[in-house]
Amino acid sequence: MKIKLIIASILFSVILFACNHIRKHFTDVSADTIKMAEPSKDSVKFTAAMVDNAKDATCGMPVTAGIEDTLHYNNKVIGFCSKECKDDFLKDAAKNFAAVEWKK
């Protein structure tokens, strides 16, 4: 009778340990996934070399100052400092495209 009790308690602790272990592993994996999904602050999405315009067609800022968004239009890649500038450009894309200052 005593032996049965001891075996039962050993089994119980093994199960408890296994559960804890799995839960810990699962938590670690989720933490890694969240870390990977976060965009790195050092990464540069677009560079001035990737676009055809010299200046943001909406606000006039040079593309070398930083590009947050790009637009493919009339076989050109146009860089913008922000999504807002791109949206403004798209409000009258044909007219704005004609005024873009291209790289020389």
Q: State yes or no: residue 59 binds Zn ion (CB under 5 A).
A: yes
Q: State yes or no: residue 56 binds Zn ion (CB under 5 A).
A: yes
Q: Report, in Å, the least distance between residue 71 CB and Zn ion.
A: 12
Q: Report, in Å, the least distance between residue 95 CB and Zn ion.
A: 17
Q: State yes or no: residue 81 binds Zn ion (CB under 5 A).
A: yes
Size of site (CB under 5 A) for Zn ion? 5
Taking the CB of residue 64, how many other CB atoms lie within 10 A of it?
A: 12
Residues in Cβ contact with 38 at an 8 Å cutoff, skipping those fewer than 6 apart = none
